[in-house]
Chain A
Amino acid sequence: MSTSDEKDLVARCREGQDDAWRDLVDRFGHKVYAIAYHFTLKREDAEELSQEIFLKLFENLHRYDGGFPLVAWVLSVSRNLCIDRYRRRKREKSFRFVSDEAVTAMLPSEDDPAKAALRKERAQMLFSALADVPEDLAEILILRDLNGLAYDEIGKALELPEGTVKSRLFRARAEVARRIRERQESRNAPGAFASIAMAAAGLV
């Protein structure tokens, strides 16, 4: 859909045409829900956040001037809400804990239980490491690697030059990998089991 078609779609939404609003929801509903899910890692929270985002889209339809792709505008409108929810989750003690349920929902079905367990463990490691990464880096990685948005879409939505987006993405990937490696190294180090057991017993 071209930019003029997208502008026309928004104009029809503003006029109160139900079919236009349905088109908008069907085009972006799944994408918005996916982004919301990656920021919240809970179905109920993601649904609530998606509704909040679409409510804000509806209230701000008159602000879309067709200057850039509609997806970038949708993303820019939803960004602050996602970041707010992410920060709220970050304040919770369980922020670094990623449940089985949260990652299982993201994995394709696997017949082999061993492979399924390995994938689940990797996904948990990824999101746990992502929780330790600075917010601006984690945000880029979620949008690009988990949701497949283009660099220019991310740049327009976050008001960043494309080079900055790429640079942050590079650092985000490297940082996540470094933290995962460090955890694995500390887990495999001699005496790691004893320290984990003492921590579990509350002796440390």
Chain B
Amino acid sequence: MSCHELERLFVAGSPDSQAKAHRDGCAECARVAADLEHTETLVSGLKAPEWSPKLRQALLAIPSLTANCEQAGALIAALVEGEIGDAEERRLRHHFARCSGCAEASETLAAARGLVAPEPPAWLATRLAASRPPRKKSLWRSALSGKMVVVYAYAAAILVMVMGLNPTAVVRKAGFASLGESTRSAVVVAESSVGDRLGAFQEKALRTLAVWTGHVGGYGRAAVSNAIALVWRSESKKTPTRPRSAKEGGAASLPAEIRLAGHAGAEPFAARFRV
């Protein structure tokens, strides 16, 4: 078909008179027009058969037989919780057969409920135990605890020693056998170690006292030497300003009598104090 004028007029919705005018002057389009009329004749009067009441009932029943994706959400939740009725479950299963997305969602949710919590690693348990706040004890529990019994024993032993008595002898005289089991064991501990502990305490105290004494002595000697140096400078008419470095005749150039005996390299006072 080379002439498309008839088709153009039809698509444009032109009046039949225009199509007829063209058809009368174009043999090709006249033949096409005859074909169209023939088809129209064949088609006219053809009607599809009526739908049956059975089909209507089947169509009406669709919502009760299946679910759509919107309804499936709530039904899946009920299914996972095990709170779904038989009819609703049938609707949902029917929907699953047609909708892989909802079926997959349901499977995933069901699988998630069956998951087992993994065992915590050992380090986590340790950390949790370490971070637990200390348990508060009542005053009576604290006062009667095993540690406090030992403390009482030490205190009693020291008191006895201060009074000039032998703690072991005192305990023996006091009737050791009549004491309770826990007290007895505490006294045994105290008896066996109190001498050593007191000896160690005394030794440590003496050592600390010696250090304090040394420091005080050292500071005192340093103070005395500084005072002498000041007096020396004030008495000397030609006392120069204090040299700033050893090259200029600093500490190394000071007279031997103002150097502190026993001080390493005669350090300046301020430096040692800082230490």
Chain A residues proximal to chain B, CB less than 8 Å: 14, 16, 18, 21-22, 25-26, 29-30, 33-35, 37-38, 43, 46-47, 50-51, 54-55, 58-62, 105-108, 119, 122-123, 125-126, 141, 145-147, 163, 166-167, 170-171, 173-174, 176-178, 180-181
Contact = CB atoms under 8 A, between A and B. Distances in A.
Contacts of B40: 145, 173
A29 B52 CA distance: 10
A108 B45 contact: yes
Interface stretch (B57-65, B145-153, B201-209): B57-65
B193 to A, nearest CB: 85
B55 interface: yes
B169 interface: no
A70 to B, nearest CB: 16
B50 interface: yes
B10 interface: yes
Contact of B49 (A54, A105, A119, A123): A105
B23 to A, nearest CB: 13
B11 interface: yes
Contacts of B66: 55, 58-59
Nearest to A57: B62
Interface of B: 1, 6-7, 10-11, 13, 32, 34-36, 38-43, 45-52, 54-56, 58-60, 62-63, 66, 68-71, 95, 98-99
A170 B7 contact: yes
Contacts, number: 126
Contact of A37 (B42, B45, B49): B49
A119 B43 CA distance: 10
A62 B68 contact: yes
A34 B71 CA distance: 30
A48 B60 CA distance: 14
Given A29-B55, A177-B36, 14 more contacts: A16-B71, A25-B59, A33-B51, A47-B52, A59-B98, A62-B68, A107-B46, A126-B43, A166-B11, A167-B11, A170-B11, A173-B39, A174-B32, A176-B42
Contacts of B1: 174
Nearest to B42: A126
Given A59-B68, A180-B38, A181-B35, A25 B60 contact: yes
A158 B7 CA distance: 21
A163 B47 CA distance: 26
B4 to A, nearest CB: 9
Contacts of A59: 66, 68-69, 95, 98-99
A173 B52 contact: no
A51 B55 CA distance: 8
Chain B CB within 10 Å, residue with most, of A25, A38, A180: A25
B63 A50 contact: no
Contacts of A33: 48, 51, 55
